[in-house]
Amino acid sequence: MKAITAEKISFGYTQALIFEEFFLAIESGEFLGIIGPNGSGKSTLLRLLAGVRKPQRGVVKVMEKELNQLSRREIARTIAFVPQESFFAFEWTVQEVVMMGRNPYLKLLERPGAEDLKKAAEAMRLTGVQMLAGQNINSISAGEKQRVLLARALAQEPEILLLDEATAHLDLVHQVTILQILKTLNNQGKTIVLVSHDLNEAAFCSRLLLLAKGKPVACDVPEKVLTPDLIHAAYGLEPVVTKHPFTGRPQVLLPPV
Amino acid sequence: MRSKARLNWIGIVLLLILSVVLSILTGPGGFSFRQFNQILLFRLPRVLVGIIAGGVLAVVGGAFQGLLRNPLVDPWTLGVASGAALGATFALVSGTGSSILLPIFAFSGAILAIGVVYVLSRSRGGLTVIRLVLAGVIVSFFFSSLVMLVMVIAHRSLGEAVYLMMGSLGVVFTRKSLGLFILSASFALAGCIWLVIHSRELDIISLNEETALSLGVEVQRMTKMVFLIGSVAVGLIVAWTGAISFIGLVVPHLVRMLFSPKHSQVLPGSFILGAGVLLFADVLVRVLTPAGLPLSVVTALIGVPFFVYLLRTKV
Amino acid sequence: MRQVRCEIIIVENSFRGVSLRVFFHCILLLFLLTVVSCGSRKRSLTTEKKLRCVSLVPSITEIIYAIGAEEMLSGTTNQCDFPLRAREKIKVGDFQSPDIERILALKPDIVFTTVPMHRQLIERLRELRIPVYVSHPQDIEGVFAEIESVGVILGRTEEARRLVSDLRRRLDSLPTFSDKPKVYVEISVAPLMSVGKGAFINDIIHRAGGQNVFEDFNTPYPVVDPELVAKANPDVILLLHPLVSEGEIKQRIGWSSIKAVCSGRVYSGLDEDLFFRPGPRVVDGIVLLARLLHPDKFH
């Protein structure tokens, strides 16, 4: 089964289109990485797949149903979207932020029940933020905040998890923690789509989509995408590509400056 | 934590009760002219108007702040109050000021104002708060000028315009107009209840638009509904009291500091505290000045320092 | 023409207590002396070359017509609507906001103004060395003095004097009133406004044999609390604004026990100009009000 398909979608914030007749199919249980230079449309594509933005033409299907046919609540029960960073205008506690992930399951005026509290607690345990439950969201570190947002996404019990630069600005420890969580989730059968500007991080994905100016340059296993030629085609510079000594996955080194 | 919140609730309810009692006991007529019954005929409607006006303005202010993720917006800064005042002005100068057309004109004016603000501030990437607040200020000035202009063209006193734009609880009620006020107030309260019912959606929208969409909230529909219902509620109140400033701005913020940002607490808390603060401001006005003073003079004197504090610390 | 301009002294008819009144009389005296000293030359000028004046004040316009000097009146405001013929004069804008360019276009020898409405305009006209008369009568005596001043300025001294003595005679013919009913005057409902000590109407009520319930208020037009009206319990209510009818007063919550409402002595639909305009018709207003306040003394 296909988790998400984008069929001939065209989209632009203005008259100028970023995507034209774009096609993408993501298999259920896949761990897809979307990479490309700044402004290549990675984040926009993710938003189109999440249904946060609507394409001007073409359709996006989730679990083989058109997004337009589904209500926001139905979409939110299937897809969770983790934004890059969140500004919180008000002083929410971590617990309150994670509980918002239960919104798609709550009816008007329905208060969160024991089941919802359990799901939220489970999500916080999985991401290691249960100790922060009572803390003010604006008082915790960036790495903790990112894990809280991931916990909120998990509280949605989604089939598909879309992450926009989930590890940007994070130190090595936090980056690895988050990648481990994602790996675990992927092993449990969740479909994961990760937008990243870190090519070495993207190398952990099972498949990579390399974008440049809204066009796919390549879409294949990391070994076939992270090659000097393709990276040059997308980024316009020739890096050194080597192999990870333990995993054997390609690793991209900066060219000499 | 829990017991502190309970104490705060008790505190704001006590403040409201205190304001109601003070409001009934004080007035230029003194405490004992002829029978007390007759004083009550004047002061009870005033207390009623104060509670409804303060409550509705604060609830709508709280909802707007959540919706726009900005503690500096309220019905007054978004131009809604001026729009309502303009609507009420048209009703007054066309001689329909004591009919049902008064609240209808006022809330139409409020909807017109928020509509203009909405269109002016919409950019390609959706609503941006800075544009919204700027548009609100512009529309507010424009509509206030129109109020003055219409009043002058219709050869009405500018005093009337000033009171309409700065608010007062000194409504002279006839049996008919009190009935109309109660009708307006019922609709305004129904609007507030709608907002309270949708507290959870407001909570989520207060994070940001994309997150709200991905958490299953119909953001655009909610935004329009909150603007519409909030504006109608405010319009229905401004028709009677004129535009009262700062209550809708300061009160929800205080409540958020006392309790939590959850709208299921912010909105009901704002109603109680807004009613209390407005009545208290009215008591001050009546004690300080025998010859009357627009209510916004006092609410602004209290509100502006707070606004400056917000500006320096929160934004 | 230039000489006439020099001779006309700017007369500020503003009474604020006795000292100002004395000051005014001094100025008037000075003015008369000037007129007398210039004697025949002045008179010949005013008769040969007619003075041109612009009146920005409806009450002054009424005075000008009442002393028969309308041929000197070259411009008025949109609010100068009495007598009916005054509507045909050239208009220089609204009473509140006259247009200075239109005033200048009429090349007036004097402009009649009032304060505080025309304060800025007066400054400007003075800069342009155009003589200005500032009207600000605060009671009936002030109106009489003003009629005489306008008469002197426009060379209709005799007519003005005759008009004032007529008006005085009518006032004197009013009966004396021993009881003074309490009167509440309402000039606006939102906000509720009445008249205080400084208001012209206060003197009208007084002369018509009534007592203004808010005469203790220092502001001329105070915003009042409705419960104060109930506390004052007036015998007569005078509605001087078009928005409210007698019937609506009865419907007002808490007002039904006020004496004026119980006894049906609430009056509306009167000609407001009789009370607001400090012109010759003010005596009509006093007589009208006296009849309302003391119906038993008139038959």
The CB density around residue A109, as the number of other CB atoms within 10 Å, is 11
| Contact state of B160 with C217 under an 8 Å Cβ cutoff | no
User: Neighbours of A (≥3 Cβ pairs closer than 8 A)?
Assistant: B
Residue in this structure with the two tokens 């018709």, named with its chain if needed: C281
Q: Is B32 on the interface with C (CB under 8 A)?
A: no
The beta-carbon neighbor of B173 closest among C94, C228, C253 is C253
Length of chain A: 257
B310, B71 contact by CB (below 8 A): yes
Residues of chain B falling short of pLDDT 50: none
> Of B150-159, B209-218, C52-61, C256-265, which gets the smallest average pLDDT?
B150-159
Q: How far is CA A248 from CA A125, A178, B85, in A?
A: 32, 21, 72
Length of chain C: 299
| Contact state of A103 with B71 under an 8 Å Cβ cutoff | no
Q: What is the C-alpha to C-alpha distance for residues A121 and C74, in angstroms, rounded to an integer?
A: 88
- Considering the entire predicted model, what is its pTM? 0.86
pLDDT of residue B314: 60
B313, B256 contact by CB (below 8 A): no
Q: Is B270 on the interface with A (CB under 8 A)?
A: no
Shortest CA gap C137–chain B (Å): 21
Question: Per-residue b/e over A28-64, b at no fewer than 16 CB within 10 Å?
Answer: ebbbbbbbbbeebbbbbbbbbbbbbbebeebebbbbe
Chain C neighbors of B286, CB-CB under 8 A: 225
pLDDT of residue B72: 80
Residue in this structure with the two tokens 């008591």, named with its chain if needed: B283
| Average per-residue pLDDT for chain C | 84
Q: What is the C-alpha to C-alpha distance for residues C269 and C273, in angstroms, rounded to an integer?
A: 11
Shortest CA gap C244–chain B (Å): 9
| Contact state of C252 with B170 under an 8 Å Cβ cutoff | no
Report which of C244, C223, C214, C196 is spatially closest to residue B242, judged by C-alpha positions: C223
Chain A neighbors of B261, CB-CB under 8 A: 90-92, 96
pLDDT of residue B34: 61
Q: Respond yes or no on whether the N-terminal peptide bond of residue B290 is cis (omega within 30° of 0).
A: no
pLDDT of residue B33: 58
The 10s digit of each residue's pLDDT in A15-42 is: 888 999 999 999 999 999 999 999 899 9
| Amino acid found at A152 | R
Q: What is the C-alpha to C-alpha distance for residues C43 and C39, in angstroms, rounded to an integer?
A: 7
| Contact state of B207 with A72 under an 8 Å Cβ cutoff | no
Which of C253, C255, C266, C273 to mutate: most B Cβ within 10 Å?
C253
Mean pLDDT over A224-234 rounds to 91
Q: Which two tokens stand for residue C13?
A: 């008819």
Q: Which two tokens stand for residue B151?
A: 């009043």
Residue A28: strand, helix, or coil: coil
pLDDT of residue C6: 33
Q: Which two tokens stand for residue B183?
A: 């009708």
Q: Is B299 on the interface with A (CB under 8 A)?
A: no
Chain B neighbors of A74, CB-CB under 8 A: 216
Q: How far is CA A235 from CA A36, A229, B5, in A?
A: 7, 10, 55
Mean pLDDT over C66-77 rounds to 93
pLDDT beyond 70 at C100: yes
Task: Compare all CA atoms of chain C with the CA of B32 and give the residue at the minimum distance.
Answer: C231
Chains A and B, touching by 3 or more CB pairs within 8 angstroms? yes
| Amino acid found at B268 | P
Q: Is B4 on the interface with A (CB under 8 A)?
A: no
Q: What is the C-alpha to C-alpha distance for residues C183 and A238, in angstroms, rounded to an integer?
A: 97
Task: Compare all CA atoms of chain C with the CA of B45 and give the residue at the minimum distance.
Answer: C253
The 10s digit of each residue's pLDDT in B88-146 is: 999 988 877 778 999 999 999 999 999 999 888 876 656 677 788 889 989 999 999 99
Task: Compare all CA atoms of chain B with the CA of C250 and give the residue at the minimum distance.
Answer: B174
Q: What is the C-alpha to C-alpha distance for residues A167 and A177, in angstroms, rounded to an integer?
A: 10
Residue C69: strand, helix, or coil: coil
The 10s digit of each residue's pLDDT in A65-106 is: 999 999 999 999 999 999 887 788 899 999 999 999 999 999
A25, A5 contact by CB (below 8 A): yes
Helix ranges, chain B (H):
2-25, 36-68, 80-93, 101-121, 129-153, 158-166, 175-197, 199-205, 209-214, 219-241, 247-258, 263-288, 295-313
Mean pLDDT over A138-149 rounds to 91
For chain A, give the percent of residues with pLDDT over 70.
100
Mean pLDDT over C144-148 rounds to 95
Q: Which two tokens stand for residue A213?
A: 């100016």
Q: Is B28 on the interface with C (CB under 8 A)?
A: yes
pLDDT of residue B125: 57
Q: Which residues, listed in sequence order, are joined to residue C211 by a DSSP beta bridge?
A: C182
Estimate the share of chain A in helix, then strand, then coil, as percent rounded to the nearest 5: 40, 25, 35
Helical pair B175-197 and B219-241, crossing angle rounded to 10 deg: 160
Chain C neighbors of B28, CB-CB under 8 A: 225, 227-228, 231
Report which of B226, B206, B228 is spatially closest to residue B215, judged by C-alpha positions: B206
pLDDT beyond 80 at C145: yes
The 10s digit of each residue's pLDDT in C127-142 is: 999 999 999 898 899 9
Chain A neighbors of B217, CB-CB under 8 A: 72, 103
| Contact state of C190 with B286 under an 8 Å Cβ cutoff | no
Q: Which residues, listed in sequence order, are joined to residue C53 by a DSSP beta bridge?
A: C73, C110
Look up the ipTM and state it.
0.91
Which of B67, B214, B225 to mutate: most A Cβ within 10 Å?
B214
| Contact state of B70 with A89 under an 8 Å Cβ cutoff | yes
pLDDT of residue C21: 52
Q: Which two tokens stand for residue B258?
A: 């006392």
Q: Is B152 on the interface with C (CB under 8 A)?
A: yes
| Contact state of B95 with C243 under an 8 Å Cβ cutoff | yes
Cα angle C95, C97, C102 (rounded to 5 degrees) comes to 95
Helix ranges, chain C (H):
2-7, 17-48, 58-66, 100-105, 119-127, 140-153, 157-172, 200-207, 226-232, 246-251, 259-262, 273-276, 282-293
Which of B196, B203, B215 to mutate: most A Cβ within 10 Å?
B215
Chain B neighbors of C234, CB-CB under 8 A: none
Chain A neighbors of B70, CB-CB under 8 A: 89
Q: What are phi and psi of C24, to 5 degrees?
A: -60, -45
Q: What are phi and psi of C14, to 5 degrees?
A: -125, 120
The 10s digit of each residue's pLDDT in C190-208 is: 889 999 988 889 999 999 9
| Contact state of A100 with B215 under an 8 Å Cβ cutoff | yes
B44, B234 contact by CB (below 8 A): no
The 10s digit of each residue's pLDDT in C200-231 is: 899 999 999 999 999 999 888 899 988 889 88
Chains A and C, touching by 3 or more CB pairs within 8 angstroms? no
| Contact state of B208 with A87 under an 8 Å Cβ cutoff | yes
